[in-house]
Amino acid sequence: MSADDDKYPGESGRRRFVKGVVGGAALAGVGATGSAAVNSLTTSPGAGGGATEAMAIENTAGPAPRGMPQVPIEIQSDGTIKGVWPEVTQQTVQGRTIDVAEMELGGKTYSSEWYQFCGVETYEGIQPSYESDNVFYIGESPGFEWQSEFDAGTAMNIDMFENYETWGNGVGVDGLGKPGTGNWRSQDTEDTIPINVLRSPVIEQLAANGEAQAPDQDEPYTVTDDVQTWLQASTSQGVMAWLNKCTHFCCVPGFKAEGGAKFNASNEVYCPCHQSVYEPFSIVPTLFTARPRPDG
């Protein structure tokens, strides 16, 4: 789709949503001074928040204002998949000492603020100092049939995704990758941080070569050098993850979900509530106003 093409032609009767490269028109003009003003307005009485740039799977259709943020992952020696949590330090902000989870990763500033939207900023697990092993665990109601053979609370492991190069669920084309849902930093908490894991040969090739051919595309996917550097740091063995909260109304989308075909989303991440669509193989920087945590 060219930059001049409209996602929702006039005859479709659907509302057109216009987004900039960074997402969120209200932040499009935020410069150094504006960013400081946004932060000063959103950090009190809570902690963190303000203008934040995150790496996200791109929103390509529907009312969602931006993509869903990635969760960088690492794979342990026994194959267990875990999310990377930023390093925690203490900083003094406006006379208060607060915990800050932030680090440099793959050429980007990775922060817990990436996930401070849709009420997640109030979750215990999003507090920088919350003690967690950061492992991804299968939840009570997993999103894919193959996961039903595992008990809730089972740690997600690379071996579960062994057939990722051929997997299919009858929606779209096979061979794009194998997905699974789970939770992160949610042990013994009232709220669950939902994540979606995807092991894909497309991600594997993008990280290794900067381009990848996929069975549903005539032209290869390509990424810029800086995004390739990010993927090399944030993915492993073709495994990637993202916070599975639609940025529109905070619903839970699904990769290759039933119903997506009606909206040309058989091979994408589709939210059935209001038809937002996300492309997991297009990783883009997105700017938004992260909400402050309720306490520091």
Q: Where are the domains of the chain?
A: 42-290
List the structure tokens of 161.
Answer: 């995704």
Residue 262's pLDDT band, with cuts at 50, 70 and 90, is confident
Q: For the whole model, what pTM was predicted?
A: 0.84
Q: Residue 94: pLDDT band by 50, 70, 90 thresholds?
A: confident
Give the pLDDT confidence score for residue 274 in this predicted structure. 87
Tell me what pLDDT residue 175 has.
97
Position 45 confidence tier, pLDDT thresholds 50, 70, 90 = very low
Measured in degrees and rounded to the nearest 5, phi and psi for residue 71 equal: -115, 110
Helices 225-234 and 201-209: crossing angle in degrees, nearest 10, is 120
pLDDT tier at 95, thresholds 50, 70, 90: confident
pLDDT at 18: 31
Cα distance between residue 293 and residue 98, in whole Å: 11
What is the reported pLDDT for 17?
28
When the pLDDT of each residue in the chain is averaged and rounded to a whole number, the result is 86
The span from the CA of 33 to the CA of 226, in Å, is 26
- Give the residue with greater pLDDT, 41 vs 106: 106
User: What are the tokens at 50?
Assistant: 């303000």
Residues 6+ apart with CB under 8 A from 154: 137, 138
Q: Give dist(CA 222, CA 77) in Å, integer.
A: 30
Q: For 9-134, where are the alpha helices, taking DSSP H only?
A: 32-42
